[in-house]
Structure 1
Amino acid sequence: MFGWLKGKQVAEPPPERSTSLPGEVIWRDGTTLPIPDWERHDWPDATDGAKLHAYANGLAAAWVDALGTQLHSGYRRDESASFMLLSALEPRPARALLDYLERSLRRVLTTLPGIASDEGHGKTVVLVLDDEDSYYQYIAHYGSGSDEPEAFSGGMFIDWGYGHFVFAQGPFEQMEPVVVHELTHCLVRHLPIPAWLNEGLAVNTERRFSPSRPRYTAAELAFLFGRFWNADTIQEFWTGKSFLRADDGQPLSYELARLLVQLLDKDYDRLARFCGQALREDAGEAAARAVLGAGLEELAGIVLGPGEWRPQPVLWSSGTEKGQFRPEGDARMTACRATPNP
C-alpha cells in the first residue's frame, strides 16, 4: 500500500507541533472512544483570534492523542500548517497525505472563489482509521441511523462540535476523490444552501480534481432519468430526501445535482451569487429567480425535458436536508474547524 509515494516530492514536517491541553478537556459521556464535549468548554473571547486558534489546537491535540492511545499504540499525530492528522501510517505516507490535503485545500478555495471559505479556529482534524471496525466504531457516536453508514465511501466529513474528517485507510487512489469531495463540503459549510447544490458542488469539484469513469453513459442516464424523475420524486430531490434513498434514486440524485451545477457553472460569477443567496427552505427557488432570471423548473427542464419540476415547499412536511449526508449531533459549530458558540 502507498507504493505511489516512490519518487514523489513531499512537504517538510512543520517545525512545531500543537501543545496538548489534557488537563482542560471535558469529555463527552457515554462514548466508547474519547470525544470532547465541545459545548462545555470555556472558550477564550471570540475577539482574540490568536488565543482562540491556540486553544482550539490544544483541545484538538488532546483529543487526537487520547483517541490514538485508546485505538492502539501504532497511531500517531502528525501536523501541517492547516491540518492535524491521526493515523497509523508510516511517517512518509502520512506526510504525503498532509501535503495532498494542503494542496487540495488551496485548489478548492481557488476553484470556488466567493463560495468556499476556510473559516474557523484551529487546524482541521483528519482521522485515518486503519480498519473498518475502528471506522464504524467511531462514526457510530454521531448517530447516522444506519447499521453501516456510508460503507461505500470509506470517509465522511462530520459536522459536529469540532468539524473533522474521518476515513477508513485504503490505497491513495481510493482516498483521493473522497478527500476532495468531503473537503468541498467542509469549505461550503457556512452557506445555508440546499442539499442538491451542496452535493452538486462537491461532486463536480471531486471530478475536476480526480477524473473517473462515468457511472452511466449519456443514453443510460437519459433512460434512467426518464423512468425515475416525475412530479413526486422531484420534490424529494429539492428537499434533499432523494439523496438518502436506498434505490437508484440516490445515485440519480447525485447525477442530476452534478448536471444542474454544471449548467450554473457556465457563468461562474452568477453561480457564486446564486450560492450566496440560495436557501434550503425553498431549494433556492427565490435565489434562482433573483439571480438567474428564471425558476428552478426551467433549470431542471434543460436536463430532464418538459415536466412538473417546480419546487413546492408547501408539500415538504418532513423538512429539508442540508446535503453532506453525514452523521450529526446536537452540538454543531458552523465551521470546518472550531467556532465556539456565542
Structure 2
Amino acid sequence: MNLVRTAMLLAFLTALFMAVGFLIGGKSGMMIALVIAAATNLFSYWNADKMVLSMYGAKEVDERSAPEYYGMVRDLAARAGLPMPRVYVINSEQPNAFATGRNPQNAAVAASTGLLQALSYEEVAGVMAHELAHVQNRDTLTMTITATIAGAISMLANFAMFFGGNRENNNNNPLGFVGVLVAMIVAPFAAMLVQMAISRTREYSADRRGAEICGNPLWLASALRKIAMAAGRISNEEAEHNPATAHMFIINPLSGARMDNLFSTHPDTGNRIAALEALATEMQQTSTPQASPAKAERKSRSVPSTGWGRGGSQPPKGPWS
C-alpha cells in the first residue's frame, strides 16, 4: 500500500513540476520540466537521504563516539527486527529527530543534540523507536523523495522571474507574464502541497508501532510534549531554509503542529499523546505521563542521571534488552 501511495505522490509532484514548466515556457518548458522531473525522481530515489542529511549537517556516529545513543538504536532495531540503520547527530538546540532512506536496508536515523540533551534516556528511546517505525513502514522513501522534488519545484518557480524578464518579445509561455506570475505564486505553496499529500495517519501509525518497539507508550508521549513545547520557542534555522523537509521530523520544526486540518504537516500533538495514553491503558501501563516513567526507571536501577556522550557510568537498559 505504501508503494502505491508513493507512486501516486510522485505522479502528482511530477505533474505539478510540468505545470510550472508550462507556465514558464509553454510546451517546450513543459518538456524540459518533464525531463528534469524524471531525472530528479531517479536521483532522489538513490540520493535524497544523503541530501537531507547534508542539508542539516548531520554527522554520523558509531559505538565509540556515541555509545549510549548508538547502542540504544541498535537494541531498538533488533527488537523491531530491522537491519541496523546508520546513526546521525544534528547540531541543533531544538529537540527533534527524523528518519530517512529508500528502504530498511539503506536507512538512517538522526537526532538533534537538543533532543539528546533535553530528554531522558527513556524519552529518547521512544522517539527513536518512532523513527524506526517509519523505517519499518517504508515511510522514509516517500518523505525523502517528496522533500527533494518539492525543493526542485520551488527552484524552478524561482527561475520564473528570469525567464519572464528575458522573453518579453518572444515568449513561448502561452499566458505571457501572467503565466510567469502564476508560476511564482505556485512556488510558495509547493511545500504545502507536499505536506497535504503526506498522510497524517503515518504519524499515528508510527507512534503506535514505536510504542510497541520501545515497550512503553508513555515514554513517547512525554517526549512529544517536550518537543512540541520546545519547537515553539527554539528556532531551527535549517528547517526555515528548507521548509519542504518539515514533514520529515517527529514534530514540525518550524512552529509545531497545532491542529488536525488540511494544511498541517503533523497531527495535533495533544491528539497523539491521547492516543498513546489510550494505548498505554491497553498495555496495562499507567496512563499518567507526569508520573515521569523515565525517572522511575532510573531510580529503580539506581543509575545516575548523566548527560549523553559524557562517559562515566553505564547507561540504563530499556525493556528491549
TM-score of the two chains, using structure 2 as the length reference: 0.28
- Give the number of the structure whose residues are more often helix, by fraction: 2
TM-score by length of 1: 0.27
